[in-house]
Structure 1
Amino acid sequence: MTEDADMRFEASSHFAASQFAPSWFIGDEGPAGSGHSESRQRGFIRLWRAFMRARVFIALVVLALEVFVVVNNTGGPDWLVLLSSLHLAAALAVLLWMRPVGIGPALRVQWLATIGVDLVVFAVLQYFQQGSINFTPLFALPVLLASILGTLLLGLGSAAFVTLYLLAETATNAGLVGDASTSRFLQAGLTGTGFFLVAILAHQLALRLAREEAVAQSSQAAARTQAQVNELVIASLSEGVLVADTHGVVRNANPAALEMLMGDGHPPNPRLLLSARPGWESLAELVNQTFLLGHPMEAELRVDIDELTRHRLYARTRLTATGGKHHTGLCVLFLEDLREVEARVRTEKLASMGRMSAAVAHEIRNPLSAITQANALLDEEVADPSQKRLTRMIEQNAQRLSRIVDDILNVARAQPSQGDTSTLTPLDAVVRQITQEWTRQVQAGPALGVHLHAPGSHVGFDPEHLRRLLVNLLDNARRHASGQPASIRVITQPAGTERIRLSVWSDGLPLEASVLKHLFEPFFSSESRSSGLGLYICRELCERYGAQIAYQRSVLDQREGNEFYVLMPSGAPSQRQPAQQSLAYPPADSQPPRSRPMLSRPSELPPSPPPTP
């Protein structure tokens, strides 16, 4: 919108004319070209056509003049009319059919068709024309054409041709009339010198204009690139950015601002007038106060999207510089959803609590060890069954506390990268040993079924860490399984040529949606007696070794159940792509914990086939 249009912009038409600008970059330059050379080529073509039109115009004027002279019988021979007609036809032919090409020393056809024709025609007209008509100024056109569109040598050559012709004409006329005055030769020499100066100056001016145009094109391309970068950055900001004028008309808004003000279902290119939309009164008032006071303002606002949705926003305003008497600038609003601010505050609190819990857990270990040792000594001294029961209760709860402390400390401790492990672990043999020990320890009996279908497969997984991963998954399956025979299954099988699949299945009930949303998050558990760190530790161990863990609801032996499966790369770690190093606990400046999907890396994890018993 131009400045004159802004002056005529009435309040009654603001709402209808508030269509958003196509870009954050204010300007009408259009899309960027493919390069400076292409732009210079377009400029050369325009200049070439201008010269060719000038040739046609001069040829037409010369023809009209010759016709007038012949009719009035005041000039040279009649065949000059034919020469002028041929010159006009040649100029038209070049303009209509010849391709614009730079005039250089090698382009003799182009030179002959333009500069050569003009020089010869103007020389013949000047020589045979009688009366007071002088065609010498016409030589300026071919000299300028050669100097601007051609090389400096071509321009000087054209000027030299004109100078030599003028001197030869002066000498011929002096021989015919018998008057060889010095003034005639001096006038011809000065005229030729003038053509030399015109050629040099025109060529230098053309070079300067070409350099200035190249600099302008480069600056314009850089400005367009910067505008595109700014537009991309503003469009991807999580903070809302909204631009309004003095009448409350929204000139532009990024997607985050539209989502805050209009919800998810906003039209892609709406027309907005702050004062005309219900629920936006506070926003319109803030803009008006900013323009009235003339300085930035900050405020906490409430914006009603509909009858059920209300957003609490923190708004900051800034004024752009005024562009003149009739342009008062724009108001830029930076909108921030207070829910996001509160989420970041909660994240920082959770990070602080995590560090504090790690410190507390470390301090608990020593007194807990003392309690366990004292309870063991006390158990040796007592013989009463009731007192024995009390010592066993103390021992069980002390062991539970010890496991919780170990989990917290392992989560808070930074894990080394995947490259630290170079040993190969036979998967089936280690899984068989772990499941046997776990069965004896928890007395699972026939509830556990082990199906190993990856003989000879090796994985770059530390055996102790593999034990911890599998024991955590088995403990989790035991808490939700029915306890019937084969209600828990451990299955290994190849998954393609480069991966091995380890799955733990149980016939438990489906997990609730609220549990699935936070399945692999730390300190989240559906049971009050659990620390909520088991699955989180499993995910961290998998990421450490380049494996991937996920959950799905699957059918095994015509029974539905919950399945946690791990896809592990086979072979040595040096044969795999290195996994990203991760910390077991997020740093204090990390982003707010969002709802994680069931897959630890959903973009990389392919759909899992059903387990094979």
Structure 2
Amino acid sequence: MVSQADLNRRVLTLVGSFRLLVAAALILILTVQPGPPILGSRYPLLFLIITLGYSLCALVIALLLRGERWNVSHVAWLQFVVDISCLTLAGHASGGIGSGLEGILVLFVVSSSMTMPVRSGYLAAATAALITLLEQVFSFLEGATTVADFFPAGVIGAIMLGIVGAIRPVIRRVSESEELAHQRGIDLKNLAQLNEYIIQNLREAILVVDETDHMRLLNQAAAEQIGIAENSSGQHLEDAAPQVHTLLKQWRADQAGLSMEIPSFLSTDGSAVINAHFASLRGESRSSAVLIFLEDANLLAEKVRQTKLAALGRLSASIAHEIRNPVGALSHAAQLLGESGDRDDQDKRFIEIIQTNSGRVSEIIDNILQLSRREDAQPKRMALLDWTNNFVNEFVDTLELYEGQVSIASNDDVEVRMDPGHLHQVTWNLCENAVKYASEAAGAIAVELKYGRLPNNGRPYLEISDQGPGIPDDMVDSIFEPFATGMFGGTGLGLYICRELCERNSASLRYRSRPGGGSIFQIVFADPGRWDKEAALS
């Protein structure tokens, strides 16, 4: 945006260049004019001195204008003084008002007045008009002009004042327009920065494409979900994210909006289903620019599930408190029955059933109460190399396993961020399940811990794998649901609690079958790139 000061500098620079041309023309006329002199006819020597001095001043002003550290008003006054004095004297030396130099003087006076403040501009024009009349008076007294020449002199003075008076309102309006445009430019820049800040800090993934399907705006969340760089604005959507482009073309083709199906695609790492929601930025027309919201379907389903489970959890917790004491009494009574006198095999079997199911109910109650407390996570940075070694030693000693039954398959250290207690509880539960349910045969337990970083996004992970029979395909989708006991018995809350603890630490718990038989549970920890952001915000 060009400011008024910059515009004045340009005007003065342009006038300075024209002044050099006028000075050069005066010297050329003085040196090559044949016959009687056109200019400087009355006082040739004075005209020569004035012309040489004017040329020198014009050169100095031109050099001065090349610098940046000069005041516009000061240079305008300097130009005015040089022009009015040199051209008036040159005109006087050439016979007065009839020399024609006054016309050039009008141009210089008006240009200098344009770059001055309002009062200074009028003062300069009035001074120039007065000096023109004074020069005519001196020429008349010397007999070089007549009384009739006072009229052209007055007309020239009136032209100077008239032009300055007429052009001043135009200059003021141009200046106000420039200032308004400059302020609007600042406002638009601030709005653009605010818009960029809001979009980049939204949790939702947002992508904007124009009529030709070129990306114009996207935030970091959208870039991560479709697997492209955040600075990919301007790239065609088909080249950057062909899956999203296909869904966009289908949406544009459905001008009537008849399709009720929510378009979706797999994320870059294949870990999530992304729902795409399209909104036209120009009314109902689907051929215009489009705003695309990318929503993790897993998160949406999780929110619905959490809402339902929260109500169920509160109800279950209150019920658990009420039945804990009766269950404890049953278990204690069964224990006393087992210790009192001789019992036949059938009675012992009944007592064993009572104790087993009482213990199972007590475990369910403990798990429900633990879920209802929902203690906040206290994440800390940990090195998995030392942590896994200490964990395996503790686990093997506690369960009295043989050496080699639980092993670690990684050597390189990886730093993670999670609540140590939560990580210990999750890993212990997964390893205990592997020992209890996933061994091929008695004494053939093989549990392996492996950690590293995912190749596609660099997020750290910890895997617990076994060589058991694995989980049937028809049960994979429900193993993390509460009370999903499956084929191995148990309370059905262990894996659910593990996933809940992981999510409280911005981590995720995934399952996949192991090639050759067995199961792999993978803990994917929080993105390390978020650590510095959270530290900067705290």
Q: Quick check: TM above 0.5? A: yes
Aligned to 2:309: 354
Q: Deviations for 1:107-149, whole angstroms, at most 9, x for unmatched residues?
A: 6xx855x333211221112212238334333333343343333
Structure 2: distance between partners of 1:510 and 1:97: 89
From 121, 124, 135, give the equivalent of 2:86.
121
Q: Deviations for 1:166-202, whole angstroms, at most 9, x for unmatched residues?
A: 3433433443459997x97787667556645655665
2:3 is equivalent to residue 43 of structure 1: no
Alignment of 1:317-336 (within 5 A): 318=280, 320=282, 331-334=288-291
Aligned to 1:387: 347
Residue 331 of structure 1 aligns to a residue whose secondary structure is coil
2:250 is equivalent to residue 250 of structure 1: no
Deviation at 1:217, TM superposition (A): 2.0
Look up the equivalent residue of 2:302 and give its one-letter code: T
Structure 1: distance between partners of 2:365 and 2:430: 18
Alignment RMSD (CA, Å): 6.4
Look up the equivalent residue of 1:401 and give its one-letter code: V
Aligned to 1:370: 326
Look up the equivalent residue of 2:298 and give its one-letter code: A
Deviation at 1:343, TM superposition (A): 3.1
Structure 1: distance between partners of 2:333 and 2:182: 89
Aligned to 1:402: 362
Look up the equivalent residue of 1:250 and give its one-letter code: D
Structure 1: distance between partners of 2:426 and 2:215: 53
Cα gap change, 1:51/1:289 in structure 2, threshold over 3 Å: closer, same or farther?
A: farther
Q: Does the Cα contact within 8 Å between 2:27 and 2:51 map onto a contact in 1? A: yes
Deviation at 1:265, TM superposition (A): 8.5
Residue 250 of structure 1 aligns to a residue whose secondary structure is coil
Residue 399 of structure 1 aligns to a residue whose secondary structure is helix
List alignment gaps of at least 5 residues for structure 2: 379-389, 404-418, 448-463, 510-520, 533-538
Deviation at 1:315, TM superposition (A): 6.3
Structure 1: distance between partners of 2:530 and 2:311: 34
2:184 is equivalent to residue 219 of structure 1: yes
Q: Does the Cα contact within 8 Å between 2:8 and 2:72 map onto a contact in 1? A: no
Cα gap change, 1:56/1:445 in structure 2, threshold over 3 Å: closer, same or farther?
A: closer
Cα gap change, 1:298/1:210 in structure 2, threshold over 3 Å: closer, same or farther?
A: farther
Aligned residue pairs total: 445
Aligned to 2:375: 415
Q: Does the Cα contact within 8 Å between 2:499 and 2:508 map onto a contact in 1? A: no
Structure 2: distance between partners of 1:468 and 1:169: 99
Look up the equivalent residue of 1:118 and give its one-letter code: D
Cα gap change, 1:511/1:229 in structure 2, threshold over 3 Å: closer, same or farther?
A: farther
Alignment of 1:99-118 (within 5 A): 99-100=66-67, 102-103=70-71, 112=78, 114-118=79-83
Alignment of 1:60-459 (within 5 A): 71-73=35-37, 76-77=40-41, 78-79=44-45, 80=47, 83-84=50-51, 87-88=54-55, 90-91=57-58, 94-95=61-62, 98-100=65-67, 102-103=70-71, 112=78, 114-130=79-95, 132-151=98-117, 154-156=120-122, 158-177=124-143, 192=157, 195=160, 205-206=170-171, 208-227=173-192, 230=195, 238-244=205-211, 249-252=212-215, 269-270=235-236, 287=252, 290=255, 297=257, 299=259, 316=278, 318=280, 320=282, 331-334=288-291, 340=295, 342-362=297-317, 364-365=319-320, 366-367=322-323, 369-374=325-330, 376-377=332-333, 380=336, 383-415=343-375
Look up the equivalent residue of 1:99 and give its one-letter code: R
Q: Deviations for 1:394-429, whole angstroms, at most 9, x for unmatched residues?
A: 2232222222232233223343687xxxxxxxxxxx
Q: Does the Cα contact within 8 Å between 1:372 and 1:398 map onto a contact in 2? A: yes
Cα gap change, 1:68/1:321 in structure 2, threshold over 3 Å: closer, same or farther?
A: farther
Look up the equivalent residue of 1:354 and give its one-letter code: L
Aligned to 1:586: none
Q: Deviations for 1:279-303, whole angstroms, at most 9, x for unmatched residues?
A: 989965764674xxxxx74646899
Aligned to 1:424: none
Look up the equivalent residue of 1:162 and give its one-letter code: A
Alignment of 1:532-547 (within 5 A): 532-533=495-496, 535=498
- The alignment-based identity, stated in percent, is 13
Q: Does the Cα contact within 8 Å between 1:379 and 1:388 map onto a contact in 2? A: no
Cα gap change, 1:40/1:362 in structure 2, threshold over 3 Å: closer, same or farther?
A: same
Cα gap change, 1:272/1:44 in structure 2, threshold over 3 Å: closer, same or farther?
A: farther
- Structure showing the higher helix proportion among its residues: 2
TM-score by length of 2: 0.58
Structure 2: distance between partners of 1:106 and 1:533: 80
Q: Deviations for 1:17-71, whole angstroms, at most 9, x for unmatched residues?
A: xxxxxxxxxxxxxxxxxxx7x8556434422222223323444565677679764
Structure 1: distance between partners of 2:196 and 2:118: 45
Structure 2: distance between partners of 1:126 and 1:371: 121
Structure 2: distance between partners of 1:195 and 1:40: 23
Look up the equivalent residue of 1:331 and give its one-letter code: S
Look up the equivalent residue of 1:407 and give its one-letter code: N
List alignment gaps of at least 5 residues for structure 1: 1-35, 291-295, 323-327, 419-430, 449-464, 489-505, 551-594, 607-613
Deviation at 1:224, TM superposition (A): 4.0
Aligned to 2:16: 52
Structure 2: distance between partners of 1:312 and 1:284: 17
